[in-house]
A and B are shown apart, each in its own frame.
Chain A
């Protein structure tokens, strides 16, 4: 079945960078996108952005623009998320998830919707001096 396996926990000092990987199996990688979501300790979920594994199109939350790079490697079915200029408030669990697109065709105009149906186990990134 479809599965996403993420890289292991990371510890970084403030100002450093981190790259988290997310390797897909059990489905055709290029048919879907990959979304990245993070969760600070004891807090809710925060959407960071997504990337198409088909053509590399991407959208980033404005707060991460300039600090986050999302890429994919279709030869290894792996998505990457790199975060630079780390701060203590970047300490969080980072999740990747498969992004699925659907269409509601019954409406007068087709309605496109998106959801995340397969999630990685999460990668803990700790930023501490």
Chain B
């Protein structure tokens, strides 16, 4: 099975900060990498698919990059609604594993 490792596991940041979350796959997954945002008590929401394609309606302050084994999600200027937990997921090979999550909190 492919292991997905996110870093950091938690992050404290202030409004307006630029933050980056990384995700590493245990083997190459090409561009089969998605990013989701989840708020407490809610279903996850798709942010990015195919490593760098922003889902419809996602603000442009979100960007993502990577291919192979190393990926990153960047938020250029944190807004109040961005404080949530973020998950990466590989869909190259079943089981389509998720990273352990990165909890983004207000400093």
What is A's interface to B at a CB cutoff of 8 Å? 35, 37, 44-47, 49-50, 59, 61-63, 95, 97, 100, 102, 104, 111, 113-117, 119-122
Instruction: Please choose the segment from B10-18, B39-47, B71-79 that sits at the chain A interface, where 4 or more of its residues have CB less than 8 A away.
Output: B39-47
Interface of chain A: mostly helix, strand, loop or mixed: strand
Residues A111 and B31 in contact, CB atoms below 8 Å apart: yes
Give the distance in Å from the alpha carbon of A119 to the alpha carbon of B34 in the complex.
14
Closest Cβ of chain B to A47, distance in Å, is 5
B89 interface neighbour in A45, A63, A102, Cβ under 8 Å: A45
B3 to chain A, nearest CB (A): 13
Q: Shortest distance in angstroms between A112's beta carbon and chain B's nearest beta carbon?
A: 8
In whole angstroms, how far apart are the Cα atoms of A120 and B43 in the complex?
A: 7
Residue of A nearest to B43 (CB): A119
Interface of B is mostly: loop
Binding site for A on B (CB under 8 A): 30-32, 34, 36, 38, 43-46, 49-50, 55, 87, 89, 91, 94-101
Least CB separation from A122: chain B residue: B43
Identify which of B55, B97, B100 contacts A117 (C-beta below 8 A).
Answer: B55
Q: Is the CB of B43 within 8 A of A47?
A: no
Say whether B34 contacts A47, CB under 8 Å: no
A50-B96, A102-B50, A121-B43 known, 15 other contacts, Cβ within 8 Å: A44-B100, A44-B101, A45-B44, A45-B89, A45-B101, A95-B43, A97-B44, A113-B30, A113-B31, A113-B49, A113-B50, A113-B91, A115-B50, A116-B36, A119-B44
